[in-house]
Structure 1
Amino acid sequence: MKTIINKLLTCGLLLATFALHTACSDWNEPEAVDLNINSAKEQNPELWARYIQVLRSYKQSKHFITYARFDNSTENPVNEGSYLRSLPDSMDIVTLSHSDKISDYDRRDIPLLQEKSTRILYLVDFAAQASNLADAGALNNWLDKAITAVADLNLDGFAFTGIPLYGGTDAELAAHKEKSRLIVSRLSAAAGQDKLLIFEGDPAFVDAADQTKLSYIVLGTDVIDNATDLKLQVSLTLSDGSVPQDKLLLAARIGKQMNDEVDVKFDAVTLMTDYVASLGPLGGLAIYAIGDDYYHSLRNYATTRSAIQLMNPAN
């Protein structure tokens, strides 16, 4: 009897092993799965339309502006921080840091942000390229490419950088000023009445007569690490009256810390929101390295979203 039972058990084990081997082989075969993931817009078009209208009304209302520099052009995104689509919907303006390297991801996301009334700008980084643009011909050709790209991509304007020249011969100073005038002239003409023109850096780079052509000025306060230096820089910038308070944006960098008046250290983006109101009120806040927020311990865009809500509590 035991021999029969053992034979039956052996046969059963062989059958089970064969079946398991067959099943595992089947499981290892790739199988296409049809997933139909609908966006919020597709799930409820009517509710989406109402939401878009609320966003449009908010961004057309008087409020503290939130501007961001976004490190675009990532060819192989590793998380949502690499995508424009993941920025907070209440962001007003986003400038593409690598405007000459627009990826397919960027091209798909730009219209999504524009639908939410977020304005996307092309960066004309003259401060970084000045040494390669020695004459007016080279500068004009470079500006032509930027103007063509903005038209082709249907972007919402330009941001540009520049560094004032405080020393040198009369001829060098005049040539530097002429380049500044040329940049503002070409970009303001291309922007017209409908697009934005924003300067980032020390406003002394822009000729006083051209200040009125700028939509906003982002003051280079992202390198400041204490409130005393911040107050001094803002005071000097506003002292001659050429820069209107409501056009001035304070810059802060994700991940950086800053000391307040009593030398207590805070997250720079969060602390800077207080000074946007108390030192003006000014026009708003500019956030640099915004994609890095996705690696923050608070996860996702918590720092950015909190800053927007602190400046605009009703948002």
Structure 2
Amino acid sequence: MKAIIYNIFTCTLLLLACVLPTACSNWNEPEPVDVNINSPKDQNPELWASYMQVLNTYKQSEHYIAYTRFDNSPEKPVNEGSYLRSLPDSLDIVALCNPGNISDNDREDILLLREKSTRVIYLVDYAAQAATFTDAAALGTWRDKAVAAATELNLDGFAFTGVRLYSGTDAEMATRKEAAQLIVSKLSAATGGGKLLVFEGNPDFIESADLEKLNYIVLNTADLTNVSELNLMIAGLPDSNILPREKVLLSARIGDLIVDEKNEKQSTVPLMTDRVAAMGPLGGLAINNIGSDYYSAKMNYETTRTAIQQMNPSK
């Protein structure tokens, strides 16, 4: 009997030895798992509706504006921070940096942001592509495509960039001036019905007569390294009768440093947040680099929310 039991035990061990490597190999292979994730809206529709009402009331109230660019539709999303849905609810305006490539996720998220009263706009990055336009016709074709795409997506307006030429031939400078006028003319005509038109850059790119067509101007203060440069930039703005200060937004890049009046380096976002009220008051703050992380100890989400709360502490 003992011999029989021993043989059975031995055979069992041999069988397990043959099976386990295969089983372990199978365990190491990833398998798709269907997981039903209930959004906050699905978990408690009544509470969600109440929250949306409060959020909408805040967005419609008088407050300092929070603006950001966002690199939508990344080729390789690295985490939840790669999606529009993960942006802070209290952002007022989001400019899509990759509006010519809208994914299905983007389309869903744009609807969600609109429910949160966040304005989603199309970025026309003329400054990055100015050298590719040899004539007004080429610029017009590119501009018309942008308008058509924004219309198809039912976006809330446009942001555009531009850099004025201070040197070059008379013809080159005249071409850049004409381009600015053509862009403002076309985009402003497409922003009826409460849609937005935002310019990112130095306002000297825009003709004085066209400044009134803009809702906001995002100054390129994110590239400054010293507050003395900031003071000079604000002092050099057109008269407030021509460019009302509530249209002006400072910009800051998360993670950057700037030298303050005491010659000490400070985090740029908090410093620029303080200057929004102190230097105008101005219209608000544009926060750059918002999508570069999601899980770090000092999350960009937290930095953004803190800046918005500091600008609007009573909201």
Q: TM-score, normalised by structure 1?
A: 0.91
What is the aligned-residue RMSD (CA, Å)? 2.3
Which residue identity does 1:289 align to in structure 2?
N
**Residue 66 of structure 2 corresponds to residue 52 of structure 1:** no
Label 1:171 to 1:240 Cα distance change in 2 as closer, same or farther (>3 A): farther
CA-CA distance at 1:75 after TM superposition:
2.6
2:181 matched residue in structure 1: 181
SS at match of 1:99: coil
**How far does the alpha carbon of each residue in 1:48-72 deviate from its partner, in whole angstroms, 9 at most, with x for none?**
1111111111010011100001112
1:110 matched residue in structure 2: 110
CA-CA distance at 1:13 after TM superposition:
6.0
Which residue identity does 1:61 align to in structure 2?
S
How far apart in 1 are the matches of 2:299 and 2:175? Answer: 47
CA-CA distance at 1:90 after TM superposition:
0.5
CA-CA distance at 1:253 after TM superposition:
0.7
CA-CA distance at 1:108 after TM superposition:
2.4
Structure 1 residues 46-195: aligned runs within 5 Å: 46-195=46-195
How many residues are treated as equivalent by the alignment?
312
How far apart in 1 are the matches of 2:102 and 2:307? Answer: 28
**How far does the alpha carbon of each residue in 1:64-110 deviate from its partner, in whole angstroms, 9 at most, with x for none?**
10000111221321111211110000010011112222233322211
CA-CA distance at 1:273 after TM superposition:
0.3
Deviates more, 1:170-179 or 1:213-222: 170-179
Does structure 1 retain, via aligned residues, the 8 Å contact 2:254–2:300? no
How far apart in 1 are the matches of 2:304 and 2:150? Answer: 26
Does structure 2 retain, via aligned residues, the 8 Å contact 1:73–1:98? yes
Where structure 2 has 5 or more consecutive residues not aligned to the other structure, the ranges are: none
Does structure 1 retain, via aligned residues, the 8 Å contact 2:199–2:214? yes
Does structure 2 retain, via aligned residues, the 8 Å contact 1:187–1:197? yes
CA-CA distance at 1:231 after TM superposition:
1.3
How far apart in 2 are the matches of 1:8 and 1:314? Answer: 80
Label 1:15 to 1:223 Cα distance change in 2 as closer, same or farther (>3 A): same
Which residue identity does 2:163 align to in structure 1?
I
Which residue identity does 1:184 align to in structure 2?
V
SS at match of 1:178: helix
Deviates more, 1:106-115 or 1:295-304: 295-304
How far apart in 2 are the matches of 1:20 and 1:66? Answer: 63
Which residue identity does 1:85 align to in structure 2?
R
SS at match of 2:77: coil
Does structure 2 retain, via aligned residues, the 8 Å contact 1:293–1:303? no
CA-CA distance at 1:185 after TM superposition:
0.6
**How far does the alpha carbon of each residue in 1:159-193 deviate from its partner, in whole angstroms, 9 at most, with x for none?**
00111122344444333222111110100000113
Does structure 2 retain, via aligned residues, the 8 Å contact 1:254–1:292? no
Does structure 1 retain, via aligned residues, the 8 Å contact 2:253–2:269? yes
Does structure 2 retain, via aligned residues, the 8 Å contact 1:93–1:120? yes
Which residue identity does 2:50 align to in structure 1?
R
How far apart in 1 are the matches of 2:14 and 2:270? Answer: 62
Label 1:175 to 1:34 Cα distance change in 2 as closer, same or farther (>3 A): closer
Structure 1 residues 1-315: aligned runs within 5 Å: 8=5, 11-12=8-9, 14-15=11-12, 18=15, 28=26, 33-239=33-239, 241-294=241-294, 296-299=296-299, 301-315=301-315
Deviates more, 1:8-17 or 1:197-206: 8-17
Does structure 1 retain, via aligned residues, the 8 Å contact 2:250–2:284? yes
How far apart in 1 are the matches of 2:32 and 2:162? Answer: 53
How far apart in 1 are the matches of 2:19 and 2:175? Answer: 79
Label 1:170 to 1:260 Cα distance change in 2 as closer, same or farther (>3 A): same
How far apart in 2 are the matches of 1:300 and 1:179? Answer: 35
Where structure 1 has 5 or more consecutive residues not aligned to the other structure, the ranges are: none
**How far does the alpha carbon of each residue in 1:251-299 deviate from its partner, in whole angstroms, 9 at most, with x for none?**
1112211122112222111211000111111000001121014264413
**How far does the alpha carbon of each residue in 1:116-147 deviate from its partner, in whole angstroms, 9 at most, with x for none?**
11111111111111111121111110111000
Q: TM-score, normalised by structure 2?
A: 0.91
**How far does the alpha carbon of each residue in 1:291-315 deviate from its partner, in whole angstroms, 9 at most, with x for none?**
0142644135111111111111134
Which residue identity does 2:74 align to in structure 1?
T
Does structure 2 retain, via aligned residues, the 8 Å contact 1:65–1:284? yes
